[in-house]
Structure 1
Amino acid sequence: MMTRVMQRMRRGRRLHAVLSILALLPGCSTIDSVSSSLLGSGPRTGQPGYVSGFLGGVAADEPRAVIAGREVLSAGGTAADAAVAVGLTLAVTLPSRAGLGGGGACLAYGSGEKGPAHGVPEAVLFIPRAATGAGGDRPSAVPMLVRGLYLLHARYGNQPFESLVSSAEQLARFGVPVSRALARDLSVVAGPLFADPAARAIFSNNGVPLAEGQTLRQPDLGSTLAQIRVAGVGDMYQGALAHRIVDGSSTIGGPILATDLRAALPSLSAPLVRNYRNDKVAFLPPPADGGLGAEAAFDVLANNPNDIPAAVARSLGVVTRWRMGGVTPAAAMASPDLPQSTSTIYPASTSFVTMDRYGDAVACALTMNNLFGNGRILPGLGFITAASPAVVPSPLLAAGLVWNDNLKAFRAAAAASGQSAAPVAVAVGLTNTLRTNQPMSVPVPDPGRANIIACSRYLPGESRFCGWATDPRGDGLALGAN
């Protein structure tokens, strides 16, 4: 006992000596921060507030998802950690466009030796694919979101994955105010959506669509997220959750087989890359062919930033040529005689971008292949499955990222939604940001909506030259700290 007391006294004298020396230094902030560290007070890694000063930034189409991403950055998480939190939160707060039953695609960049690809972007593809089960009046896509975000996290994250699930879980379980973005989508599809009794119970008040600011509670979704947090992502594809998805899918219009879930693997792919002055620009590759359309539009705007009509025509023409088959992306880009777009309506999507204090960045586009997917909630699981791409056209998932290969440093990232205008929105957002060094300096063409983060002096570098913006005509939010 005496030995432990003497050890405590010695530690106390050492701490007193350190603080006495610090007291001789100018200012008190150093004393406060060091003494907090020594005494064990203040946030620790994994807790919001752990990082002070420059955090990075987040921009997305729904405000609460942005707040979730910024909290992760504040807790010391990477851009990928923040992206996982944003994506899972969107599954709760904007289930019309993102959900556990949907999917998407992301571009991820890790600066220098920090990134697994050593300063070169990667594409993480987890696009909802058609289930192979036959029959049903509303075929479902195979859920891809959770495995896709898990792969992104495995490559670039540093926070425990389960900690990134818990925030979305709590929002689903205890409720969250309906955002303007969700209220708008509900007003569009309330009629057919409320034909499903489970959807009507969640998204309406006695048959009247929930309005902005009213509380959205999704206890079954909260329980599903809790199961993923506790049992792991694999449970959704090969465990108890997988069995419940298989059993429930046949009751909502289109069966999903156990083999579909086991085979639902995301993939890593090299992005489409082109040079732009001293930098390189990466775009999502097919099958996320909105990235191909964005590259085609960027090709036009890099030479003439004001020729929006030509950029739109070339973007949709290249995508249409690619979807006709028999060509590589490069051949579609080089085709002299492009067909007119065969589709005037592409499914809805949502987008977001994240960047951390090191210059790691992620740009994602998520989709349900239709507003609210197939419109029916899996019994007891609380989420809607995406519409099958066998019965609806694939969305144009569009994102782009700019970096300097010599410096191994990030410069800009953009992701966009807006059906057929999403690729052009990315191209316009990036070209104008690179020309003016200001994100969202010029509005993107309607109905496109973009989210952009940019660092005109690169990052790692001078963080005071970084900025983030969401489309002012949309209902999103952009947050960070310099």
Structure 2
Amino acid sequence: MLAGCASLGGVMDGLLGQSGPPLGSPGHVRGFLGGVAVEEPRAALVGREILAAGGSAADAAVAIGFALGVTLPSRASLAGGGVCLAYQPERDEAISVAFLPRAPGRLDPRADRPAALPGTPRGLFALHARLGRLPFERVIAPAEQLARFGTQVSRAFARDLAVVAGPLFADPQARALFARADGAPLGEGDRIEQPELGNLIGLIRSQGVGDLYQGVLARRLADAAVAAGGGLAAEDLRTTLPSLTATLRAPLGNDVLHAAPVGGSIGAAVALRRLAARAGEAEAEAAARAAAAAARAGADPAALLEGASAAGGSLPPVLGATTGFVALDRDGMAVACALTMNNLFGTGRIAPGTGLVLAAAPGIGQVPPALPTVLMVANANLRAFRAAGAASGGEGAPMALAVALHRALGGAAAAEAVAAPRPGAAERTGRATLVSCARYLPGVPGSCSWAADPRGHGLAIGAD
């Protein structure tokens, strides 16, 4: 009889609608999902799908990062790199995952466009290994599908493509992939298929990320990079590892400010603390630039965050192109990432047979390192998330993020906070993505909001 009751209970659950899609399937989560804010809309939809399937914020961030490698390869090719901040409220744990695209240890004399070592696949895998909930294969599958079966070109990618189409199309592979039949660059709404990139992501999915760095895929990538004038060596790929560390922390009212040990993040953190102390925007902007420059020049980022004098270093007039995004799940886990190629479209060349746009090696020739900018705010006593953001736009990124977070912490909804006017380069070039929970999460889900900068062409989506 007990067995019969159990079977009947399962039937009744189905009849009454108490069962639903399993974990990993869209629709698994009912009610509050969390939200994402991304500078490219199709990748944002991928992130929301992962949240709806029961994935964590880390799962969503990894899915977004891989999707951006397909939908925004001008700034976020899988051959690039970046930095992420992640916060888990259960343990009040915040980590920084750094996987910036760095120059090889030895420059190949055959390389006329030296390529950076790709950090993104291993960096995002490390984030997933630490905080993921769904299988890694499930999380990166949407990116594979976008590449293999095609997607529409977004306004964000079309704008980047229009800027550099002339020199970019000197590479026949780039021209074949990103140009229309008449030779004009693809425009918003055009269809783009990337079968070679889809095959590569499929191999990563089936064989593992490690194979791209020390297996058959690694040798294939190294050979392709040499053919494209990038000059990567298999032994350098093997030693390309992400760095997982605790975040740099500083008090911010009753909350804790978390920063990554990179120039843009430190600059934004210093500016935000100045704004919280009622400094004027001009003073905060100057402090942001000085701190970012000093951190890039080798100053101790922890000391800069604590208020040490920002001496030494300068920001070049042009910085590598970046893109940012934020993901928040229903449990209060949050991830903010900034990805870069160190140059718009990196080297401007595609590694044959892989579909990868190679990132540019920083510090060589006219290629300065990018300025990735991410911040997180949480409350240690409540073990709860408060706000997170990422910004792009070169020298304007740190102040753009500082102003947006300052407004959000002052009570403004995310959309109002990112739309607020900003001084100087932060207004001209800065683009911020933001997720904010005015009454914390876990806590009051209804107090959460998310926004992509109206100055750009991104998308923020989530909620119920």
Query: What SS class does the counterpart of residue 130 from structure 1 fall into?
Result: coil
- Tell me the residue number matched to 1:23: none
SS of residue in 1 equivalent to 2:24: coil
Partner of 2:186: 210
Structure 1 counterpart of 2:87: 109
Q: Which residue number corresponds to residue 226 of structure 2?
A: 250
CA distance in structure 2 between the aligned counterparts of 1:212 and 1:10, rounded to whole angstroms: 57
Partner of 1:280: 256
Indicate which of 377, 384, 391 corresponds to 1:416. 391
Query: Residue 33 of structure 1 corresponds to which residue in structure 2?
Result: 17
Partner of 1:434: 409
Pick from 361, 381, 385 the counterpart of residue 334 of structure 2. Answer: 361
For 2:350, the aligned partner's letter is I
Shift of 1:384: 1.1
Q: CA deviation at 1:324?
A: 3.2
Q: In the alignment, is the contact (CA less than 8 A) between 1:432 and 1:440 conserved in 2?
A: no
C-alpha contact 1:150 1:233 (8 A) present in aligned 2: yes
Percent identity between the two aligned chains: 50
How far 1:367 sits from its partner (Å)?
0.3
Structure 2 counterpart of 1:185, from 141, 160, 175:
160
Distance of aligned partners of 1:93 and 1:342 in 2 relative to their CA distance in 1, 3 Å threshold: closer
Residue 90 of structure 1 aligns with an amino acid whose one-letter code is L
Partner residue, 2:361: 388
Residue 95 of structure 1: aligned partner: 73
Q: Of the candidates 38, 44, 50, which is equivalent to residue 66 of structure 1?
A: 44
CA distance in 2, matches of 1:455, 1:323: 31
* CA-atom RMSD in angstroms: 2.0
Check conservation: 2:63, 2:139, Cα contact below 8 A: yes
Is the partner of 1:389 in helix, strand or coil?
coil
Amino acid at match of 2:270: A
Could you report, residue by residue, the CA deviation over 1:366-396 in whole angstroms, capped at 9, with x for unpaired residues? 0011011101000100011110013211111
User: 1:134 corresponds to which residue?
Assistant: 108
In the alignment, which residue of structure 2 is the partner of 1:481? Answer: 463
Relative to structure 1, the CA distance from residue 211 to residue 377 in structure 2 (aligned partners, 3 Å threshold; closer, same or farther) is same
Please tell me whether residue 119 in structure 1 is matched to residue 92 in structure 2. Answer: yes
Alpha-carbon distance in structure 2 between the residues aligned to 1:431 and 1:268? 27
Q: Which amino acid aligns with 1:375?
A: G
Aligned residues: 451
Unaligned 5+ segments in structure 1 are 1-5, 20-29, 113-117
Partner of 1:329: 301
Q: How far off its partner does 1:299 sit?
A: 2.4
Aligned to 1:296, the other structure's residue is in SS state helix
Tell me the equivalent position of 1:26: none
* Structure 2 CA distance for partners of 1:125 and 1:336, relative to 1, 3 Å: closer
Distance 1:296 1:177, change over 3 A: same
Cα distance, 1:65 vs structure 2: 0.4
Pick the aligned partner of 2:270 from 279, 296, 301: 296
Q: Tell me whether 45-54 or 338-347 shows the greater mean CA deviation.
A: 338-347
**Could you give the per-residue CA deviations for residues 149-179 of structure 1, whole angstroms, max 9, x where no partner exists?**
0000000001000111111001101111000
Which residue matches 1:468?
A: 450
Deviations 1:118-155 (CA, angstroms, capped at 9, x unpaired): 21211000001101232211100001100000000000
Please name the residue that 1:24 is paired with: none
Question: Quick one: structure 1 residues 336 and 381, their matched pair in 2 at CA, closer, same or farther if it must change by over 3 Å?
Answer: closer
Question: Structure 2 length as normaliser, TM-score?
Answer: 0.93
Structure 2's unaligned 5+ residue stretches are: none
What amino acid sits opposite 2:171 in the alignment? D
1:188 partner SS: helix
Aligned pair 1:149/2:97, yes or no? no
